C-alpha cells in the first residue's frame, strides 16, 4: 500500500495577545518530508513510528510537511494557507494513494478560519475521493467539528492528559486505516456534545477510571475506537467544548448510542472532576506546610502550552514579598533579560528587570538584584526520551536562594531538566514553581513531596463560567447548571 502522512499542529488561544506567525513555527523547525528521519527522537517521533510500522509491513510511506508551533493567538492567514497548501499539494503529487494518516491538533484557528483542521481535511477529501481512508489523531483539547467528521473516516483523540499516549494513538490510527483500505472494516462515527467547558487531567480518579472505561469498550462488539475530546476552553469558536465520539464498524446507531451513553457518564462526573486550583497565597501556605520538599506548584494561568505569554510575575512577586526562601521558578520567557545576562557573563551580579512585558496578563516587571549562575546556549528539556528545545537559557539567583530560569524559546515546563540542565538543584529546593498546567506532571510528580495548582491572574483564566465568549453558544456548564434542561 501507498500511504501519505503529515503533521500540522498548534493550539490557538483566541484570547491571546500574540498572533502565531512563521517565527512560531520556525522555532520548532519546519520539516518538508523528512521529520521522521531527521528528528526521530524529537518533533518527528510520531511520524517516525508511522514510518516504522509501514516499512515493517512492507508498505510505502510518502511523508509530507511536519510543522508545529507553541500555542498562541490565531495563526496569520497566509501562514496557515501556505502550510495547508503544502500538504494538499503533497497529497496531489502522491496519488494514487491507499490511505492518508494525519497527525493534527484539532484546535487550530487562523484569521478567517475557525476550523483549520476541518478545512484541511475537506481539501484532502476533495483530492483523494470518497474511498481512500483518511485516519487522523487529535489532541484531546480539540474542537471536534462536523466538517472534520464529514471529511475523515477515522478520528482518534489521545486519551491521556498529560498526553503520554500520542504514539499509541498513532498506531491505532495506522492499524484502522489499513483495515479499512483492505476492506475489512467500514468505520462510522457517532458523536455527542457534552455541553461542558473545563480541563480534565487523567492522572487521578475519577478521570483515570473514565479512561479505563473507554478502553474497555474498544475492540469488542464492533466498537473500533472511543474518544473524549476535552475541548480547549480558551478557543472561542462555534463548535468548541467537550465531546465524546465513537468509531464503530458500519453501525451508525451503535456509535451514536454509545457516544450518548458515555457522555452522560462523563456529565455525572462533572463535580468530582473539577480541578482543585487555589489562589496564590493559599497555594504557597499549603506548600510551605508540607514537611520537606520539593513541593511543585503549577502556575496554570501563565502556561504557554495554552497560549499564555509565559512571562507573568504574579507568583514571583508574592514569593519575593513574603520572603519565602529556597524557591525555584521557571521558565520565564524574557529575551531582554537573557541578553543582558549573556553580556554580563556567569558570576556577574546586577540589577535585573524580569518578566511582565507581553501584555496586561503578564503583570508588572519585578526588579531584583541577581547573580548570573548559569548560561546555556542551546538548552533543552526532555520527557519520555524526547527532547524539546528551550533556546538560550539563563539561571539567575536572587536573595533567599530564589533561583529563576529564563528561556528564549517560549515553552511550557515538561521535564525536570529544564531546571537541572541549567545547574539548579531541583531536589534541594523547598518550592518549585512551573509554568505549566498538567504536562509537567509525568516527570515532576514522582519527584515531588506534593503538587498544587495555582489559579493566579493571567491569560488562562480558570473561571470557565466567566469566559468572554463571542462566538460559541453560552449554554454550557458551568456557566449554566444544566444546559440539557428544557428551555422555559
Segment 114-154, tens digit of pLDDT = 999 999 999 999 999 999 999 999 999 999 999 999 999 99
Three-state DSSP class for residue 213: helix
Report percent pLDDT > 70 for the chain. Answer: 100
* Enclosing H/E stretch for 80: helix 77-94
- CA angle 391/316/375 to nearest 5° reads 30
> How far is the C-alpha of 319 from the C-alpha of 138, rounded, in Å?
38
Question: What is the CB neighbour count within 10 angstroms for residue 288?
Answer: 13
Three-state DSSP class for residue 400: helix
Q: If we measure between CA atoms, which residue out of 419, 441, 415, 414 comes closest to residue 429?
A: 419
pLDDT in tens, 26-66: 988 899 999 999 999 999 999 999 999 999 999 999 999 99
**Which residues in 422-444 are b (16+ Cβ under 10 Å) and which e?**
bebebeebbbbbbbbbbbbbbbb
C-alpha cell, 370? 541577581
What are the chain's domains? 2-268 (3.40.50.2300), 278-461 (no CATH)
> How far is the C-alpha of 190 from the C-alpha of 243, rounded, in Å?
11
> Given the DSSP bridges, would you call strands 431-434 and 327-333 parallel, antiparallel or unpaired?
parallel
> How far is the C-alpha of 442 from the C-alpha of 207, rounded, in Å?
16
Q: Label residue 386 by pLDDT band (50, 70, 90).
A: confident
Q: If we measure between CA atoms, which residue out of 427, 150, 108 comes closest to residue 293?
A: 427
Question: What is the CB neighbour count within 10 angstroms for residue 487?
Answer: 4
Q: Label residue 385 by pLDDT band (50, 70, 90).
A: confident
> Given the DSSP bridges, would you call strands 277-278 and 450-454 parallel, antiparallel or unpaired?
parallel
DSSP state of 273: T
pLDDT in tens, 417-461: 999 999 999 999 999 999 999 999 999 999 999 999 999 998 898
203 has a pLDDT exceeding 60: yes
6 has a pLDDT exceeding 70: yes
> What are 158's strand-pairing partners?
none
Q: Label residue 476 by pLDDT band (50, 70, 90).
A: very high
pLDDT in tens, 16-28: 888 999 999 998 8
Strand order in the sheet with 243-249: 187-193, 243-249, 223-229
pLDDT at residue 59 in the model:
98
Our separate counts of H helices and E strands in the chain read 14, 18
202 has a pLDDT exceeding 80: yes
pLDDT at residue 64 in the model:
98
75 has a pLDDT exceeding 60: yes
> Given the DSSP bridges, would you call strands 2-9 and 60-68 parallel, antiparallel or unpaired?
parallel
Across 370-377, average pLDDT: 98
376 has a pLDDT exceeding 60: yes
- Strand stretches in 175-315, DSSP E: 187-193, 223-229, 243-249, 277-278, 295-299
> How far is the C-alpha of 432 from the C-alpha of 451, rounded, in Å?
10
Q: Label residue 404 by pLDDT band (50, 70, 90).
A: very high
Q: Mean pLDDT of all residues in the chain?
A: 96
- CA angle 6/8/13 to nearest 5° reads 165
Across 399-426, average pLDDT: 97
* Enclosing H/E stretch for 283: helix 280-289
Strand order in the sheet with 386-398: 277-278, 450-454, 295-299, 431-434, 327-333, 402-407, 386-398, 366-383, 349-354
Pair 304, 333: CB distance under 8 Å: yes
488 has a pLDDT exceeding 60: no
Amino acid at each position: 500500500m501507498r500511504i501519505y502522512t503529515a503533521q500540522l499542529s498548534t493550539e490557538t488561544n483566541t484570547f491571546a495577545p500574540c498572533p502565531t506567525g512563521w517565527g512560531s513555527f520556525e522555532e520548532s523547525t519546519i520539516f518538508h518530508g523528512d521529520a521522521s528521519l531527521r528528528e526521530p527522537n524529537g518533533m518527528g517521533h510520531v511520524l517516525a513510528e508511522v514510518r516504522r510500522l509501514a516499512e515493517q509491513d512492507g508498505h510505502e510511506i510518502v511523508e509530507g510537511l511536519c510543522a508545529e508551533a507553541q500555542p498562541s493567538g490565531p495563526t496569520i492567514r497566509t501562514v496557515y494557507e501556505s502550510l495547508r497548501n503544502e500538504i494538499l499539494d503533497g497529497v496531489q503529487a502522491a496519488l494514487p494513494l491507499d490511505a492518508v494518516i494525519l497527525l493534527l491538533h484539532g484546535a487550530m484557528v487562523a484569521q478567517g478560519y475557525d476550523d483549520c483542521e476541518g478545512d484541511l481535511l475537506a481539501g484532502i477529501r476533495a483530492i483523494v475521493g470518497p474511498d481512500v481512508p483518511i485516519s487522523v489523531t487529535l489532541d484531546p483539547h480539540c474542537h471536534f467539528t462536523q466538517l472534520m467528521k464529514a471529511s475523515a473516516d477515522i478520528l482518534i483523540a489521545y486519551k491521556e492528559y498529560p498526553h503520554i499516549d500520542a504514539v499509541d494513538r498513532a498506531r491505532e490510527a495506522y492499524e484502522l486505516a489499513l483495515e479499512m483500505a483492505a476492506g475489512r472494516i467500514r468505520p462510522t462515527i457517532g458523536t455527542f456534545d457534552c455541553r461542558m467547558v473545563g480541563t480534565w487531567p487523567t492522572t487521578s480518579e475519577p478521570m483515570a477510571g473514565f479512561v479505563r472505561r473507554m478502553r474497555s469498550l474498544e475492540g469488542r462488539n464492533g466498537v473500533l475506537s472511543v474518544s473524549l475530546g476535552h475541548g480547549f476552553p480558551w478557543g472561542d469558536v462555534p463548535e468548541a467544548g467537550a465531546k465524546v465520539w465513537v468509531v464503530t464498524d458500519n453501525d451508525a446507531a451503535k456509535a451514536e448510542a454509545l457516544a450518548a451513553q458515555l457522555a452522560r457518564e462523563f456529565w455525572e462526573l462533572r463535580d468530582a472532576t473539577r480541578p482543585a486550583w487555589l489562589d496564590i497565597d493559599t497555594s504557597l501556605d499549603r506548600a510551605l506546610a508540607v514537611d520537606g520538599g520539593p513541593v511543585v506548584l503549577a502556575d496554570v494561568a501563565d502556561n504557554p502550552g495554552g497560549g499564555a505569554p509565559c512571562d507573568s510575575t504574579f507568583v514571583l512577586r508574592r514569593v519575593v514579598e513574603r520572603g519565602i526562601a529556597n524557591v525555584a521558578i521557571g521558565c520565564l520567557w524574557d529575551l531582554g533579560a537573557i541578553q543582558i545576562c549573556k553580556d554580563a557573563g556567569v558570576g556577574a551580579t546586577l540589577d535585573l528587570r524580569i518578566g511582565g512585558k507581553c501584555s496586561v496578563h503578564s503583570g508588572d516587571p519585578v526588579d531584583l538584584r541577581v547573580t548570573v549562575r548559569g548560561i546555556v546556549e542551546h538548552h533543552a528539556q526532555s520527557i519520555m526520551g524526547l527532547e524539546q528545545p528551550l533556546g538560550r537559557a539563563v539561571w539567575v539567583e536572587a536573595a533567599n536562594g530564589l533561583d529563576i530560569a529564563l528561556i528564549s524559546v517560549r515553552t511550557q515546563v515538561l521535564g525536570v531538566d529544564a531546571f537541572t540542565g541549567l545547574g539548579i538543584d531541583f531536589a534541594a529546593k523547598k518550592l518549585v514553581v512551573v509554568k505549566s498546567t498538567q504536562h509537567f506532571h509525568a516527570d515532576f510528580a514522582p519527584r515531588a513531596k506534593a503538587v498544587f495548582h495555582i489559579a493566579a491572574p493571567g491569560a488562562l483564566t480558570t473561571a470557565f463560567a466567566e469566559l468572554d465568549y463571542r462566538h460559541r453558544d453560552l449554554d454550557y456548564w458551568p456557566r449554566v447548571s444544566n444546559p440539557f434542561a428544557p428551555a422555559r
